[in-house]
Amino acid sequence: MKLILFFSVLLYGTFSFAQSNSYFNVGFFTNSQYYVDDEKTGNFNEKNNFRSNNYLNLNYQINRFTAQVQFEGYIPNALLNFSPNFNNTFNIATYSLNYQNEKLNTTLGYFYDQFGSGLIFRAFEDKELGINNAIFGAQFSYQLTSFLKLKVFYGKQRKGFKLSDGTLRGTNTKLSLSNLLHLKNFLFDYEFSYVARYQNVVTTNPLFNKTTNSFANAIYFSKDTFYATAEYVFKNKDALVENETIFDARLFPGNAFLFNTGFSINSLSIDATFRRIENMYSYTDRTQRGNPFNDQLVNYIPSLTKQQDFSLANIYVYQAQPQLSFNPTGKSGEIGFQIDAFYKFKRNTEIGGKYGTQMALNYAIWNGLDAIYNLGNRTYSSQFLSFGTKYYTDFNIEIRKKWSKRVTTINTFMWQFYNKKWLEDSVGEINTFLILSETSYKFSNILSTRLKLEHLQSNNDTKSWAAATFEIYIKNTSIYIADIYNYENNNSIEKFHYYNIGGSYSKNNCRFSLNYGRQRGGLVCIGGVCRLVPRTTGLSFTLNATY
C-alpha cells in the first residue's frame, strides 16, 4: 500500500510538473558519524563505528491537493542514543495526502499537529533529537463560521517503522469572541481541546479505565502591545507507571496550569510565564513513560528556562519534571516561573553610545510541588500554589553592544543553582557562576570573525570549566576551532580537553558541515526538549538540501 501510494504520487507529479498550478519539492538530510577509540573519552565498544541517519522527503502539490512521502534510512545503525525503533536500513517512514481549501483542511496518513500549548497533545518531528511521534490516521478541520473552527483526529502513533498499540483521538474547538462580538482593536479567543488515549491493558482494579481522557481550556487576549494567555488542563485518573511496570492498585489524576503575559512600551519589553504541572506525562503505551528517546510521547512539556548558545551554559541543563514517582523519593510535578525583560538604551546617550545598547535580564525558578508522600502505600497529597523542594534557578544578565561598524559584543553573566539530588536521583547541590563573552569583527561583507570565551566557576561536582571558540566566515564558508577544558576537576583522569575543529559551506538551499573532535557527554536540548548523548570522539558530517 505504501509503495503504491508513493509511486502513484511520483508518476502523477512527473506527468503534471509543467503545470503552473503544481509544485514539486525534494528535501534531503543526513547526519552521520564515524566513532573512533580515544584514551580520554573511551574506546568505542559498539558494533559499526560508522552510523548514519538519512531522510528523503518528497512533496508534490497540485491545485488543493498535497502528497508527502518521507523515506528514512539508518545505515547500518542509527546514531548512538537514538531510539532502537529506528532500526531499518531504508524504508518509507511517513506518507500522507492532504486536501485544503478556504474552510476545509483534511489529511489521510501521517500528520503533525498541536492543541493549545501542547500540554495535552503535540505531534512533531525533530531530526536532531530523534523525535518523530507523528499520528497515522485521519485529521479533519473545518471553519464553520468566521468565529468558530472545529478539528478532529483519530489514529495510532508512530513507533519507529511500526505503530503504537494504543490509539489516540481528539477534538479541538477555537472560538473567536472578537469576531463573534464584533470587537475591534483587540483579540479575545477561547480554545477547548480533548484528547483520549486508549490502550488495552489487563489490570485487577475494577476502577481502572483503559481510556485516559485529557481536557484543556485556554483563553487568549491581546491588545496593542499587551498580551495574556491562560490554560488549564485536567487528566482523569490513570495507573502509576514505574520502571515499565503498571501499578493499578492506585489511580491518580493529573493537571496543569499555564499563564503567560507580557507587554512592550517604547524601549522596554517584559514577558513572564508561570506553570504548575502535576502528573502530566502521557504516552500511547503507558510502559514507555520516561523513556530517554521520547518515544510515543503524546504531550509537549518543555523546560521553561533561557535557551543558551554557549557550551558551558549547557552543562547543567534543567529538564521539566511533570512526572509522578515514588521511587526512590516522592515527586509529583513542578511549579515555577520565568521572567524575561529587554531594554534598549537609545543611541547617542551615555549608556547607549553611538549605536545603542541592548540589555536583557532573565530569571527562572523551578521547584517540586509541596506535597506529603507515603512511599510505602504510594499515596500523596499536594498543595496547589505552594513551592516545595527547589530544583533549579538561573539568573542571566546579557548586554549586546555595537561599538563600531565592525565590532559587536555580547557579554552574559549567569548564576545557576542545580539540585542534582532531585533532578538526577543522585547527590549534591551545585552552584555556578558563568562569564560568557562573544566578540564579532566584520572586515567586509564577505569576511568576518567571531571569538567566544567562556568560564564556569563552581566549588561543587566537576568544579570549574573554561571554553573558547574561534570562527572565520568567508562568504558562504565558515571554519571554527573550539575547546572545552574541565581544568579543576578533582579526578585527574577527567581533566582533559574536549577539542573540536570543523566548518560548514552553504549555497542556495544546501548546507554541508564537517567536524572532528570530542563530544562531552550530557544533554543536547532544542526548544526545551533534550536528548542524552554519550561521551565520544569521532568525525561527523551533515548535509541538508532542498530543491
DSSP string, 419-459: EHHHHSSSS-EEEEEEEEEEEEEESSSSEEEEEEEEEEEES
- Please state, in angstroms and rounded to a whole number, the distance separating the CA atoms of residues 416 and 424: 16
- Please state, in angstroms and rounded to a whole number, the distance separating the CA atoms of residues 202 and 483: 53
**Is the pLDDT score of 329 beyond 90?**
no
198 and 257 together in one domain: yes
110 and 204 together in one domain: yes
pLDDT at 202: 87
Contacts of 452 (CB under 8 A, 6+ apart): 310, 436, 437, 438, 467, 468, 469, 470
**Is the pLDDT score of 201 beyond 80?**
yes
75 and 107 together in one domain: no
Residue 432 inside a domain? The answer is no
Contacts of 157 (CB under 8 A, 6+ apart): 123, 133, 134, 135, 136, 163, 164, 166, 168, 284, 296, 298
Could you report the per-residue pLDDT of 66-121, keeping only the tens digit for each? 999 999 999 999 999 999 999 888 899 999 999 999 999 999 999 999 999 999 99
**Is the pLDDT score of 380 beyond 50?**
yes
CATH code for position 140: 2.40.230
Q: Looking at 285, 301, 317, which one is the last position of a domain?
A: 301
**Is the pLDDT score of 5 beyond 80?**
no
- Please state, in angstroms and rounded to a whole number, the distance separating the CA atoms of residues 547 and 167: 35
pLDDT at 20: 55
> What average pLDDT does the segment 468-475 reach?
97
**Is the pLDDT score of 17 beyond 90?**
no
178 and 261 together in one domain: yes
Residue-wise burial string across 122-139, b where 16 or more C-beta atoms lie within 10 A, e elsewhere: bbbbebebbbbbbbbbeb
- Please state, in angstroms and rounded to a whole number, the distance separating the CA atoms of residues 35 and 539: 7
Residue 47 inside a domain? The answer is yes
**Is the pLDDT score of 138 beyond 80?**
yes
Residue 428 inside a domain? The answer is no
24 and 149 together in one domain: no
Give the count of domains, the chain.
Answer: 2
Q: Looking at 280, 301, 322, which one is the last position of a domain?
A: 301
Residue 315 inside a domain? The answer is no
pLDDT at 526: 83
64 and 149 together in one domain: no
Cell digits for 20?
Answer: 503552473
Residue 221 inside a domain? The answer is yes
270 and 203 together in one domain: yes
User: Of how many residues is the chain composed?
Assistant: 547
> What average pLDDT does the segment 179-186 reach?
90
**Is the pLDDT score of 16 beyond 50?**
no
Alpha helices per DSSP H over 40-185 = 177-180
Residue type for position 114: Q
Q: Are 137 and 106 in contact (CB under 8 A)?
A: no
Q: Are 214 and 234 in contact (CB under 8 A)?
A: yes
- Please state, in angstroms and rounded to a whole number, the distance separating the CA atoms of residues 58 and 70: 6
pLDDT at 433: 98
Residue 215 inside a domain? The answer is yes
For residue 376, what is the enclosing H or E element? none
pLDDT at 242: 86
120 and 73 together in one domain: no
Sorting pLDDT into bands at 50, 70 and 90, what band is 327?
A: confident
267 and 191 together in one domain: yes
131 and 257 together in one domain: yes
69 and 138 together in one domain: no
- Please state, in angstroms and rounded to a whole number, the distance separating the CA atoms of residues 254 and 245: 19
Residue 195 inside a domain? The answer is yes
The range of the structural domain enclosing residue 10 comes to 1-79
- Please state, in angstroms and rounded to a whole number, the distance separating the CA atoms of residues 220 and 227: 8
Residue 267 inside a domain? The answer is yes
Cell digits for 247?
Answer: 501499578
Q: Are 532 and 130 in contact (CB under 8 A)?
A: no
60 and 8 together in one domain: yes
Q: What's the burial of 319, exposed, middle or buried (CB within 10 Å: 0-12/13-18/19+)?
A: buried
